Every structure is written in structure tokens, then in C-alpha cells.
Structure 1
């Protein structure tokens, strides 16, 4: 199953590359929030940066096909202009087309993080800071964090540890404008990629 999934992503990557070559992708740098340099886009994805040219992603051999697809989709989905605002904070399930992937997202993000960091909020904080996350002030959560999947896609993680009454609880939020920059499958993978980085010491498998 995993091999088949990888094959599909690899084929999708090649198709997306062909699509990108038909557009002036370098002109999208400002809207995407990335740097254009020497005929390439320098695209940050969480704590790493990737170089995209007309030939593809320079670091592609070190990336899973899923990550290759995410980066291409970010370029292809670029809107004609920046939205007036980032929009309100929403959970993944609140996005219009998220329905088929809600269970996948919840199981592989919120529930995974709850299981991994119950009783160890400090470990979550340390891992988050190590991959570029920032703590946010909160009177509601034991730990509130902010990351950037891509420059225009901030990701917010709120975590409450277990207590005498409730089990640990974790939620991941996005700005509603994220739907302008990625489809729901790739947006879900920003959550699973973050989860992998937090529990796996920097894993890049979404």
C-alpha cells in the first residue's frame, strides 16, 4: 500500500513539474512569500528550505514523493494576489473539502501527539523550538505554539496535558486562507509532517 502511494505521488510530481514549466513560476515569489534567486525559488518548509528550478527540486533525491508534491502544489496553487487577510483560525475539519481526510488527519496528528507527549509537555516545547516553532501566550492551554509550514501557511498547535479530570488534548489550527495555497490532501500532509518532526526527531515523512 505504501509503495503504491509513493508511486502515485511520484507520478503526480512529474505531472506537476510539467504544469509548472508552462507558467512563469518565478513571478509568483512575492505572493508565495519566498525568495527568487538565480532562476530559482527558495521555498521554506518548516525548518528546511528547498530550491526549485524549472528542472525540479534540487534536493528531490532526499525527499519523499509526498514532499515533492507538496512543494509543487504550493507553487501551482498560488493565487493571483494575496488575500486581504489571513482569515480566521479554523480546524482542519472546518475546511470545505476536508471531509474525506478528517479521520486520517485527526489520527495522524492530534491523537498521535496526545499519545506521544502526555505527561511531557516540556519535551513537546523543546522539540517545537528545535524545529523553528515559537511559543504563544495562552491562558487556556498548557502550551501554545506557532509554526510555518510554508511562508503563507502558519500552523498553530495547542496542547493541554492530562490532569485529574481530563486526558491530554491537542488541536492543530490553520488560517482559513490556507485553502488558497494548498489542496486538502497537501494541507493534511503539513499536519502529519509537523507531527513526524515533533515525535520523530525531525522526520520528513508526512
Structure 2
């Protein structure tokens, strides 16, 4: 089976599951809007629409496979009550993260550190374009930015630029409650997509306007 065919089957299966959901009952718990049969979900500051036919991103372009899966799972895993745990933790601190930690490092934290070494000002600008805002969070670093990856899933980027003694380093943090909204694979995918979008948002125009394919 071709990769694209496998992806199409995965999306079709999710759409079938989504069709049976009561979106209105999930709206307040997930911080989303419902318009008819569509769920409007902000993802890193950009509205995406989950429709019976698929996920539509900014500019009316179809969302990528990764983004579509994240949004489907956000709807499907909606908790009955708000999860607790506002403390910030690293990805590896989550109980079920172990199988995905190396991939998380290789597709999210390490690429951001590499892409923006010596370019902290450009990183700050790219973060703003994804809705990121500087936040103290009780941490000392060259740049600390908080994002709303999803309405109930904040993500923090902690960046220290290179200097004479150390290379650039990036750490991504989630609130512990994030594990109540998404599984570990999807949390890692959120970070992966963010890293890719930051790279492209460091230049104008945004990737979906320039025709650049997104994860």
C-alpha cells in the first residue's frame, strides 16, 4: 500500500469517528467553537475547521496529515472533566512518553536550537507569528515564550542562544494537564509541527501563502 493511500485510510477512519460526536457538548470543555457541523479549533493561533470532509487550515488550504490527526484526537479524547496539573514539565516527564522521547528531541527541540543558533531575534519574531508571547514562568533564559498550541494545551519554548562556552539549546515544556487532552504521540507531533512552522515563519510570507508544504 502506498503511503498516501495509508494516510487517506487513516483520515477516513477518523472522519467516521468524528461524525458520531456531539461537538456542542465538547465545545466548552475544549475551548472551541462549533458552527453547524464544523468544529473551529485554533492551532498555534490559526483557526482550523474540522469538517465532515476533512480539516481546512488557513487560507482554505487542506491541513496536513499531522495537523489533521492532532485535531481529530483533540476532539476524540475530550475529557469529561478538566484535567488537573498546571505545573510545567518536560516531555520526558510524562509517564507514557518514553517511546517517543528521542523522536521528540530530533524533530522539535534540536531543530529549533540548530535553526536559530545566533538568531534569537528572528526566533522571537517567528514565535510572535504563531501567537507566542514572552512569559517569565519563573525561568532564566534568553527567550521564554508561551504558546497556545490548542485552547487547552499551552506549550512553552525556553531558548538559550549560543555563546563562547555553550551551543544553542531549546527546551519545550507542557503543563502536566496536557496528557488529559492528547496522547503522547500527538503531543510530540504538536512540538514537531511548531518547530517546522517556526522555521518557515522566520521569513515572509507564511508557509501556506508561499506554497511551502507543511507537516
Q: TM-score, normalised by structure 1?
A: 0.89
Summarize the Cα distance change of 1:190–1:26 in structure 2 as closer, same or farther, 3 Å threshold.
same
Summarize the Cα distance change of 1:53–1:174 in structure 2 as closer, same or farther, 3 Å threshold.
same
- The more displaced of 10-19 and 183-192 is 10-19
Aligned to 1:102: 101
Summarize the Cα distance change of 1:76–1:34 in structure 2 as closer, same or farther, 3 Å threshold.
same
Residue-by-residue CA offset, 1:53-85 (whole Å, 9 max, x unaligned):
4444345862222221111110000001212x3
Superposition map of 1:1-206 within 5 A = 4=3, 6-59=4-57, 62-83=62-83, 85-137=84-136, 140-201=140-201, 202-203=206-207, 205-206=214-215
What's the CA shift for 1:150? Answer: 0.8
SS in 2 for 1:163: coil
In the aligned structure 2, how far is the partner of 1:13 from the partner of 1:181?
19
In the aligned structure 2, how far is the partner of 1:20 from the partner of 1:12?
12
Q: TM-score, normalised by structure 2?
A: 0.86
Summarize the Cα distance change of 1:181–1:8 in structure 2 as closer, same or farther, 3 Å threshold.
farther
- The more displaced of 193-202 and 57-66 is 57-66
Q: Structure 1 regions of 5+ residues with no counterpart?
A: none
In the aligned structure 2, how far is the partner of 1:19 from the partner of 1:129?
34
In the aligned structure 1, how far is the partner of 2:196 from the partner of 2:189?
10
SS in 2 for 1:104: helix
SS in 1 for 2:124: helix
- The more displaced of 142-151 and 44-53 is 44-53
Q: CA RMSD, aligned part only?
A: 2.0
In the aligned structure 2, how far is the partner of 1:62 from the partner of 1:181?
23
- The more displaced of 111-120 and 44-53 is 44-53
What's the CA shift for 1:178? Answer: 0.9
What's the CA shift for 1:87? Answer: 2.9
In the aligned structure 2, how far is the partner of 1:94 from the partner of 1:10?
33
